[in-house]
Amino acid sequence: MRLVLLGPPGAGKGTQAQVLCKDKGWAHLSSGDILRGEVKAGTELGAKAKAFMDAGQLVPDDLVVNMMVSRIARPDCAGGFVLDGFPRTAVQAEALDKALARSGRPLDGVVSLEVRDDEVVRRISGRRTCPQCGAIYHVQTLRPKVDDVCDRCGHRGLTQRADDREEVVGQRLVAYRRQTEPLIEYYRRAGLLEQVSAEQPIDQVRAELDEALGRRQGAVGGASA
Ligand code: AP5
């Protein structure tokens, strides 16, 4: 299945995409993780993106579109993928549609994870991530089995993202409401949209996500699950 997860910062896109892709064998393509990898590797793209990311603003469309369209063309995406954090603007959504139409593999569905701003701030201020494998935790709601040690890869030392400071989170929310939220209507008109309340425990969100994917599979006539 070829799926987009939409939603504000902290909605749980990464949390849900990691579990879903592990279960289904799909590729998890997080534009934020890919950009952070470019920054860490000191590439030209990373250098251009860093100032926007640090300020909580969107990285320019041309940079992100080229990066993601070439990522989707890689062989690990042939069996299905989940896009997490991309597209985020109308320009990106149209570019994605065109690229997928050229390859004859259009999107099967778009799930919007919906959550209020005050809950976003609570989640993001408590988020910790593993700098080695990217696993996501929360200091209250999703703690690792051993304090400060990643369950998935055993790395010691979970970290807070540089753009998770409160003033930057406010900017990221503004960018989401202005530039990304209009995509909900774009995908509703395309007949691809499912909406799920993300203000429930992680397992409950996952259960509703599975139901939404079931409806999408029915609609597209049985894409592989
Ligand atoms: P990106 O990395 O994509 O960040 P984001 O969209 O702001 O989303 P987050 O990763 O913060 O949240 P999430 O929804 O994945 O939540 P998570 O699962 O971690 O983008 C970062 C920056 O990169 C952007 O600001 C921009 O500069 C740039 N960028 C990226 N893509 C771009 C694009 N396409 N165009 C332009 N620029 C781009 O969960 C959050 C926390 O909540 C965790 O601690 C988790 O444990 C907890 N949690 C999750 N679900 C629940 C639940 N149901 N109940 C309780 N807690 C929960």
Mean model confidence pLDDT for the chain: 94
What's the rounded mean pLDDT across residues 80-89?
98
pLDDT, position 222: 53
Which residues touch 58 (CB under 8 Å, ≥6 apart)?
52, 64, 88, 89, 175, 179
User: Which residue, chain included where needed, has tokens 């990691």?
Assistant: 18
Name the residue of 21, 22, 34, 35 to mutate for ligand 1: max ligand atoms within 8 A of Cβ.
35
The verdict on the CB of residue 88 being under 6 Å from ligand 1 is yes
Q: Which of 2, 13, 123, 206 is catalytic?
A: 13
Which atom of ligand 1 lies at the shortest distance from residue 16's CA? 18
Higher pLDDT, 212 or 217: 212
- Ligand 1, atom 9: closest residue by C-alpha: 9
Start-to-end CA distance of the chain, whole Å, equals 7
- Ligand 1, atom 40: closest residue by C-alpha: 10
Contact of 39 with 50, CB cutoff 8 Å = yes
Check whether 73 has a pLDDT greater than 60: yes
The verdict on the CB of residue 109 being under 6 Å from ligand 1 is no
Determine whether 172 is an active site residue. yes
- Least confident segment among 80-89, 165-174, 193-202: 165-174
Enumerate domains of the chain plus CATH numbers.
Answer: 2-114+179-218 (3.40.50.300)
Q: Which of 88, 128, 206, 216 is catalytic?
A: 88
What's the rounded mean pLDDT across residues 212-224?
79
Reported pTM: 0.94
Q: 224 C-alpha vs ligand 1 centroid, how far in Å?
A: 27
> For residue 30, what are the β-bridge partners?
84
Length of the chain (residues): 225
Q: Which of 24, 48, 50, 161 is catalytic?
A: 161
Amino acid sitting at position 87 = P
The verdict on the CB of residue 8 being under 6 Å from ligand 1 is no
Determine whether 13 is an active site residue. yes
Determine whether 165 is an active site residue. no
Give 146's DSSP letter: S
Distance of CA 198 to the CA centre of its chain: 13
CA distances from 179 to 51, 77, 92, 174, 183 (A): 18, 27, 11, 8, 8
What's the rounded mean pLDDT across residues 101-106?
94
